[in-house]
Amino acid sequence: MENKKLKILMFNRWVGYNEGGNETHIKELAVFLSKKGHKIDIITTGEEALIPIKEHINKIWQVASPRKYFSYSSKRFIYSFIYLLKSFFIFYKLLKIKKIKYDIITVHFSLEAFLLRFVRAVFNIPYALILVGDTDMELIEGKRADNTSELTEYMARECLNYCYYPKILTKGVDRARFNRKVNGHKVRNLYINNKKQFLILTVCRLEPRKNLETLIKSAKILENKYPNIFKFVIIGGGIEENKLKNMVKKYRLNNVYFTGMIYSTSSLLPQYYASADIFALPTLYEGFGYVFSEAMSFGLPVIGTDTSAVPEVVSGTGIIIPLRSPIKLSQAIYSIYSDSKLRKELSRKSLKKVENWYWDKLIMDYEKFLYEAINKNRKYNNSYKRYKRCFSDLFFDFPKILFIGLRPLYKTKNSWGSILNKRYE
């Protein structure tokens, strides 16, 4: 079985149009599985973000759905229901009408995973849940998939609250694209005018969870103390873009630059990493923090926050600071700037740590993970067993799912979805 080349269907609504750590993970997983000889189809909304890797994708099936985070919308339940209904019809079209045979489906978020409970029961196709977060909904769904993975030990321990322990499979880094041979001089010259200046890079979605207000406040502190030395470059787009730009204008800062969104598949992104002196992200929560590992592949010292999985990922390669502390962030940046020995030591440790996270090493673990999921599903070899499994699981899970779905949403606009509010308090 483990020598068989698989026909894999990936199911995620954002990967076709959006950029972020989750979407990057899915795209790179598709590319490296394709290079190993597996055939990849994707169900998503949109297609433009997949154009750079289209040679590795057999077929893209599109679901007509609003392009937004449902959890931020007052119509979240309506959007979710319509999206699930339309997605099920896509599955029916592919599996029943077109009679396409998939060996396995991979899913990366709770809403899609919930639908796959029914798809598995009806069409007898196993699915693997590759978690990149640990919300209550995701942890519930992780218990019901044929195989489940988490990115870090921190996230895996969260699953113990639901009486299971997943595989630990980190996000990979593409060694061919993210390495110290990349020339970043052209990009660096856009922001740096002399040898004394220092470039701090941040790459992320511009949303509340990333806490970029702290970054901008630290830029103000450093500019006031050391004028025209520290340059901050922020790559990404998102719902807080205008708010953050207005904050920069309010502080009258000339040392903070927004590039807008740069696709993870773009050749420009590695050049920005190569141009930087350090990488900083004062995030409020990360299941892994893909951009940290990308920065490490260039030997950059990194600055992260004392929250969730960040210390596990960053430990030894940079400096961990408290949450929401512009002063501590500015001090960390200055300490790396002013101490060349510290800078070199952190750079060496970054390069050493990221060696464990390159795709050419990790992809075989992901293949094994998928084969295991297929084998686990074999014992449900008739429709009675499959439907019994589906509805008995749903019977036990539904009260928890209903409670989570109806939880008060009074902080939705200031958090990453309503069910992560508790992590910010």
Task: Tell whether the model's pLDDT for residue 2 goes beyond 80.
Answer: no
Q: Are strands 59-62 and 256-260 parallel, antiparallel or unpaired?
A: unpaired
Write the burial class of residue 259 (CB in 10 Å: 0-12 exposed, 13-18 middle, 19+ buried): middle
pLDDT digit string (tens) for 248-298? 999 999 999 999 999 888 999 999 999 999 999 999 999 899 999 999 999
At 236, give phi and psi (nearest 5°).
Answer: 145, 165
What domains does the chain contain, in order, with CATH numbers? 7-172+359-424 (3.40.50.2000), 185-357 (3.40.50.2000)
Q: How far apart are CA 303 and CA 282, in angstroms?
A: 8
Task: Tell whether the model's pLDDT for residue 165 goes beyond 60.
Answer: yes
Task: Tell whether the model's pLDDT for residue 376 goes beyond 90.
Answer: yes
- The reported pLDDT for the residue numbered 78 is 83
Task: Tell whether the model's pLDDT for residue 415 goes beyond 50.
Answer: no
- Cβ 308 vs Cβ 282: under 8 Å: no
Q: Which of 172, 44, 19 is nearest to 105 (CA)?
A: 44
- The reported pLDDT for the residue numbered 71 is 57
Q: Are strands 278-280 and 318-321 parallel, antiparallel or unpaired?
A: unpaired
- The reported pLDDT for the residue numbered 135 is 86
Q: Which residues contact 415 (CB under 8 A, 6 or more apart)?
A: 208, 209, 421, 424
Whole-prediction pTM? 0.89
Task: Tell whether the model's pLDDT for residue 413 goes beyond 70.
Answer: no
3-state secondary structure 376-418: HHCCCCCHHHHHHHHHHHHHHHHHHHHHHHCCCCCCHHHCCCH
- The reported pLDDT for the residue numbered 424 is 36
Q: How confident is the model at residue 133 (pLDDT cuts 50, 70, 90)?
A: confident
- The reported pLDDT for the residue numbered 387 is 96
Greatest mean pLDDT among 40-49, 125-134, 326-335, 404-413:
326-335
Q: Which of 257, 271, 333 is nearest to 301 (CA)?
A: 333
Q: How confident is the model at residue 69 (pLDDT cuts 50, 70, 90)?
A: low
pLDDT digit string (tens) for 70-117? 555 557 778 888 899 999 999 999 999 999 999 999 999 999 999 999
Task: Tell whether the model's pLDDT for residue 157 goes beyond 90.
Answer: yes
Task: Tell whether the model's pLDDT for residue 418 goes beyond 60.
Answer: no
Task: Tell whether the model's pLDDT for residue 159 goes beyond 90.
Answer: yes
Q: How far apart are CA 64 and CA 71, in angstroms?
A: 18
Q: How confident is the model at residue 1 (pLDDT cuts 50, 70, 90)?
A: low
- The reported pLDDT for the residue numbered 411 is 47
Q: How far apart are CA 416 and CA 394, in angstroms?
A: 26
pLDDT digit string (tens) for 174-226? 999 999 999 999 999 999 999 999 999 999 999 999 999 999 999 999 999 99
Q: How many CA atoms lie within 13 A of 247 on its CB side?
A: 18
**Positive or negative, the Cα torsion across 257, 260, 207, 244?**
positive
Q: How far apart are CA 366 and CA 289, in angstroms?
A: 19
- The reported pLDDT for the residue numbered 381 is 87
Q: How far apart are CA 59 and CA 379, in angstroms?
A: 30
pLDDT digit string (tens) for 329-350? 999 999 999 999 999 999 999 9
- The reported pLDDT for the residue numbered 74 is 59
Write the burial class of residue 260 (CB in 10 Å: 0-12 exposed, 13-18 middle, 19+ buried): exposed
User: What contacts 24+ positions apart, CB below 8 Å, involve 347-352?
Assistant: 347/299, 347/300, 347/301, 348/299, 349/316, 349/317, 350/295, 350/296, 350/297, 350/298, 350/299, 350/300, 350/301, 350/302, 350/317, 350/318, 351/180, 351/296, 351/297, 351/299
Distances (CA, A) of 387 to 113, 119, 120: 16, 10, 9
Q: How far apart are CA 58 and CA 422, in angstroms?
A: 41
Task: Tell whether the model's pLDDT for residue 119 goes beyond 50.
Answer: yes
